[in-house]
Amino acid sequence: MREKGCYLGIDVGSVSTNLVIIDSYGNILEKLYLKTGGQPIKAIRSGINILADVFGQSIDILGAGTTGSGRQLANVIIGSDIVKNEITSHAVAAQKLVPNVRTILEIGGQDSKIILVRNGVVYDFAMNTVCAAGTGSFLDRQASRLEIPIEEFGKYALSSTLAVRIAGRCAVFAESDMIHKQQTGHSIEDIINGLCEALVRNYMNNLAKGKELAEPIVFQGGVAANQGIVAAFERELKAKIIIPEYYDVMGAYGAALMAREKMRHKAYKTNFVGFDISKKDYKVSTMECHDCSNMCELIKIISDDVVLARWGDRCGKWSELDRNYGQVSLGH
Amino acid sequence: MKVTFPHMGNTYIPVKALLDELGIEYVIPPFNNKKALELGTKYAPEMACLPLKINLGNFIQAHELGADLILISGGCGPCRFGYYGEMHREILKDLGFNMEVFTLDISKKDISGFLRNIKRITGEFKPYKILKAIKKTAEVSKQVDELERLSFKIRPREIVKGSADRIYKSFQNSVLNKKGAKEIKELIDFTRKNLLDIETDKSLDPIKIGIVGEIYTTNDPFTNFRIESRLGNEGAEVMRPVTVSGWIIDHMIKKALGLKGDESYKEAAKPYLGAMIGGHTQETIGNTVLLAKDGYDGIIQILPLGCMPEIVSESILPSIERDLNIPVLTLIIDEMTGEAGYLTRIEAFVDLLKRRKEEGLIAGKRMLSWN
């Protein structure tokens, strides 16, 4: 049966690139969680490829949304109808799955956020500012250093009897401290448990300070798969933590939902270029503009010898070129 | 002798007017840029705050253009800025640059010392000429601020996005070719007319955001990644109470003359902070309260990493956020700040404010219909 009216959401993050296809009711038909591996374009293309294999010609994409740190790039490649930041996307997705949610904890690859929702709208948020300790990449690194698969990492914490106190403020110091505790003979379980507690403590001090964390509390992002962190959050907050079904692709889900909302309100055709983007060739080149003292680093995306987009300039003279603004003189 | 001075947003315009009027030879450093920041970061102590680093870069770049005397103002509040002059002097000496540093610290106690310094630079002492130049400078700085405020109002409302940016940027560049307060004021008039000619949507009721925090990072667009222009182009009207003219007029001139400036912020800050504790903390707290009561939708606080006074503000702001129901976003900047993450936070904050405003309007309508 040909599914009418589907929407695509893509979240290009530092660690993972996620794709979600939803139907017109907002139900997820397919979700993909792929490693970005430092090559976002490749990840986007292979994601689209997989979706093309699964659905082939059986669905119509009526709208597409992109989010995550690579949202501009994804937008250029797939042609999306809405480009949104991660905070809004995560909030939209959480509200869909847990309609009365009031607090959203999100820990991804390189950043962590807290989002407070009141009366159905994002009321306040905070994002880690200075250090990425406690985010997915750091846990990944520790798991591989201890030679434990990341999927198992959290379980170790659950069998611990005592949490060793780890200095969690900074990723580098936390690692030295963990090594120190290993050398003094603490068990791996207790160290991992200690690390989970340190990271939660760090999160609470950095992001949640002065904020009222009302229930229901939802925890999402890749790190929500870590049972040790979940347990540490429950102990710290003395509350039940809800892990939504699609916790690992919430950004992409939110982007798809927003694309659906936008396209439903306004009757225009989607910008989505179609599933055959894998046949096209994409190149990225960088250059430094020397027209003024800012020396901006420019990124140029080229597909089949056509410049799709340029960005990175502070004055806008390069990025505007491709928006058909015509060449304008901007002083220096 | 060739004078130079540090950049901070539009400060170069009134300072240029002053030096032109006094007939002093000077070099304006290249606008704040990556190279200046790199130079400053290389030679300044790592824990020094960002403004010190950028200014150090300004001086080195000005030296390349022939400057040998640095004019900076001294800090009257107990923040690190107070010893910038000494720091810069020592660092530049260690690097082998032959540059003199002049600190214009105008305090009530030492106005004669200040005048002596001016005499040394101008080579003559004509109080009437100096006072006239200061008066003209104050006028220029006031007009520059008014022009900036006009751009804040135009940006969210303009039909063709980027129009105000283009005109304003062209002003900032062309002003370098003008000489003296009169020519600068003419250019300001010309620019104001151009800005007012931009076609705008007059029915639009944009969200309003107040910018508070440390003076350098809030006033300098290179440092804060052009936050005012970005917010404006995202459809937000911006207000920044702490400005260059406010600083020059209230902080320097009125203080020197023993006059009081506008101190309503002190009164407003009182329930949270009863004393001056350095930097612009009292302004940050007081202005946040005033803006919240004035119906602003949100507040953005900006500070350089490690800024002691603003760290205090940061810990007070959540109480105001709660008491007056106004969202506050804190942005901390240093030479390592990644632009992408910074912009994500700004974009999300604007989204939040827009949704809250819509929600508020809906709730407001509901209440009306109940009555």
**Hey, is A114 helix, strand or coil?**
strand
Comparing alpha-carbon positions, the chain B residue that sits nearest to A113 is B345
Q: B127 vs B72, B134, B254, CA distance in Å?
A: 21, 10, 17
Number of structural domains (chain B) is 3
Comparing alpha-carbon positions, the chain A residue that sits nearest to B341 is A69
> What's the pLDDT score for residue B106?
61
Task: Name the residue among B234, B352, B220, B224 with its Cα closest to residue B297.
Answer: B352
Contact B165 A316 (CB under 8 A): yes
Q: How many C-beta atoms surround the C-beta of residue B112 within 10 A? A: 8
> What's the pLDDT score for residue B371?
37
Answer yes or no: is B60 within a domain. Answer: yes
Nearest C-alpha of chain A: how many angstroms from B107? 36
Rounded CA-CA distance A154/A47 in Å is: 28
Task: Name the residue among A110, A112, A167 with its Cα closest to residue A141.
Answer: A110
> What's the pLDDT score for residue A178?
84
- Is A3-90+251-279 a domain of CATH 3.30.420.40? yes
- In one-letter notation, the amino acid at residue A207 is L
Under a CB-based contact definition with an 8 Å cutoff, are residues A233 and A112 in contact?
no
Helices (H), chain B: 12-22, 34-43, 50-64, 84-94, 111-122, 127-157, 163-174, 180-196, 215-219, 227-233, 244-246, 255-256, 264-269, 281-293, 308-324, 339-370
Q: In what side-by-side order are the strands of the sheet with A282-288?
A: A282-288, A297-303, A306-311
- Asked which of B205, B239, B262 is the last residue of a domain, the reply is B205
Q: What's the pLDDT tens digit per position in B233-291? A: 999 999 999 988 787 777 667 766 667 777 889 999 999 999 888 888 999 999 999 99
User: Mutation test of the interface with chain B: which of A12, A83, A88, choosing the one with the most B Cβ atoms within 10 A?
Assistant: A88
Confidence grade of residue A111 (pLDDT, cut at 50, 70, 90): confident
Residues B355 and B221 in one domain: yes
Q: Please report, for the domain that includes residue B237, its CATH number.
A: 3.40.50.11900
How is residue B296 annotated by DSSP? -
- Give the one of B166, B347, B356 whose C-beta lies nearest to A328's C-beta: B166
- Give the one of A124, A209, A293 whose C-beta lies nearest to B30's C-beta: A293
- In one-letter notation, the amino acid at residue A15 is V
Residues B236 and B361 in one domain: yes
Per-residue buried b or exposed e for B33-58, using 16+ beta carbons within 10 Å of the residue's own CB: bbebbebbbebbeeebbbbbbbbbbb
ipTM of the complex: 0.71
* Farthest CA pair distance, chain A: 67
Q: Which residue has the tokens 């790592």?
A: B46
Answer yes or no: is B308 within a domain. Answer: yes
Contact B169 A331 (CB under 8 A): yes
Q: What's the pLDDT tens digit per position in B183-225? A: 999 999 999 999 999 999 989 999 999 999 999 999 999 999 9
Average pLDDT, chain B: 87
Domain A99-243, CATH: 3.30.420.40
Domain hosting B186: range is 138-205
More confident residue, A182 or B155: B155
For chain A, the domains span 3-90+251-279, 99-243, 282-323
Residues B291 and B358 in one domain: yes
Contact A130 B332 (CB under 8 A): yes
Task: Inform me whether the pLDDT recorded for A323 exceeds 70.
Answer: no
Is B165 an interface residue toward A (CB < 8 Å)?
A: yes
Answer yes or no: is B130 within a domain. Answer: no
Residues B181 and B105 in one domain: no
What percent of chain A has a predicted confidence (pLDDT) above 70?
91
Rounded CA-CA distance B129/A282 in Å is: 65
Provide mean pLDDT across the span A174-178.
83
Interface of A with B in 246-305 (CB under 8 A): 292-295
Q: What's the pLDDT tens digit per position in A241-298? A: 999 999 999 999 999 999 998 888 766 788 888 887 777 778 888 888 887 777 778 8
Contact A122 B34 (CB under 8 A): no
Residues B363 and B324 in one domain: yes
> What's the pLDDT score for residue A8?
93
Contact A88 B351 (CB under 8 A): yes
Nearest C-alpha of chain B: how many angstroms from A118? 10
Under a CB-based contact definition with an 8 Å cutoff, are residues B24 and B3 in contact?
yes
Q: What's the pLDDT tens digit per position in B65-85? A: 999 999 888 756 567 787 888
Under a CB-based contact definition with an 8 Å cutoff, are residues B1 and B27 in contact?
no
Provide mean pLDDT across the span A96-106.
91
Flag the least confident range among A279-288, B43-52, B89-98, B215-224.
Answer: A279-288
Provide mean pLDDT across the span A122-136.
73
Task: Inform me whether the pLDDT recorded for A317 exceeds 80.
Answer: no
Answer yes or no: is B133 within a domain. Answer: no
